[in-house]
Amino acid sequence: MKIATWNVNSLKVRLPHVIDWLNNHQPDILCLQETKLIDDHFPLHDINALGYHCLFNGQKTYNGVAILSKLAGNDRILDIPQFSDEQKRVISATYGDLRVVCVYVPNGESVESAKYQYKLQWLTALKQWLQQELIRYEQLIVLGDFNIAPEDRDVYDPDAWRDKVLCSQPERDALNDLIGLGLKDSFRLFEQPEKSYTWWDYRMMAFRLNRGLRIDHILISDVLTKHCSACSIDKQPRKLERPSDHAPVIVEFKIKE
DNA sequence: ATGGTAGAGGATCTA
């Protein structure tokens, strides 16, 4: 079983890349962030034509998340329950015995910004909700754009990024709090190349110079860890014309469900 | 040097 996450930065612009990627990789599940589409404009038929079901939670201009899957999803939940938020950043559903939570964590803008406080509050709400979900679902996977680089080795220039947004200690603490609920960063279960990143700024030739950050993650519950066989970043789509600024992250499991 | 690029939408806001 193969599950992936990809911040596409506009599904309208990136639809050809997503279609090619689905055809080439045949993931069982692909979670998308920054679809930037209202639900009425979701390209449902194009994706259905590839044999994938779609669940989505979109809005105009910003944010927006979706889950594409070979199996139909059950028990769909939109957003974080009991957390009032106009921004569409979460969708979750069950596939077989697997509970999938697709997240687009707020960027935060800068540590001085009000958006940074929103980000930390949002992460607290996510933690409180996931604590309950982990009781309900033994096989839980939480994946998406977390907008947090967990450690200095996940940053191309740690000194330049020290205490900056995406790297600050409160953000890293918040991510570690999620992991502390009983989740693991699947990427770090395996030996990985040095300087592995998932996002590169469009500016200053950042991708060509591999000036990136690893901010997209796949967190899995302990039961899933036992069956997890690989986790990797696919840099290939970042090399295409008009790419997303993020690369997909893929996790694989030996179990079939 | 406080820039630069991309997307949405139609002037800025967000990342």
CA at A19, C1' at B2: how many angstroms apart? 39
pTM, entire model: 0.98
Catalytic residue among A28, A79, A145, A185: A145
Annotated active-site residue A222? The verdict is: no
Q: pLDDT (tens digit, 9 = 90+) per residue, A141-182?
A: 999 999 999 999 999 999 999 999 999 999 999 999 999 999
Which of A186, A105, A177 minimizes the C-alpha distance to A140?
A186
Angstrom distance (rounded) from CA A252 to CA A93: 19
Residues in CB range of A241: below 8 A, 6 or more apart: none
Q: pLDDT (tens digit, 9 = 90+) per residue, A199-214?
A: 999 999 999 999 999 9
Q: pLDDT (tens digit, 9 = 90+) per residue, A226-243?
A: 999 999 999 999 999 999
Give pLDDT, residue A154: 98
Q: Strand B: which of residues 170-229 in chain A lie with Cβ below 7 A? A: 202-204
Catalytic residue among A52, A95, A104, A137: A104
H helix and E strand count, chain A: 6, 14
Annotated active-site residue A104? The verdict is: yes
Q: Strand B: which of residues 44-63 in chain A lie with Cβ below 7 A? A: 60-62
Backbone CA torsion sign across A69, A59, A244, A141: negative
Angstrom distance (rounded) from CA A211 to CA A201: 8
Q: Write out which nucleotides of chain B lie closer than 7 A to a protein Cβ.
A: 4-9, 14-15
CB atoms within 10 A of CB A241: 6
Give pLDDT, residue A26: 98
Give pLDDT, residue A256: 56
Angstrom distance (rounded) from CA A92 to CA A90: 7
How many whole angstroms from its chain centre is CA A223? 20
Angstrom distance (rounded) from CA A96 to CA A10: 29
How many whole angstroms from its chain centre is CA A11? 15
A76 touches strand B (CB under 7 A): no
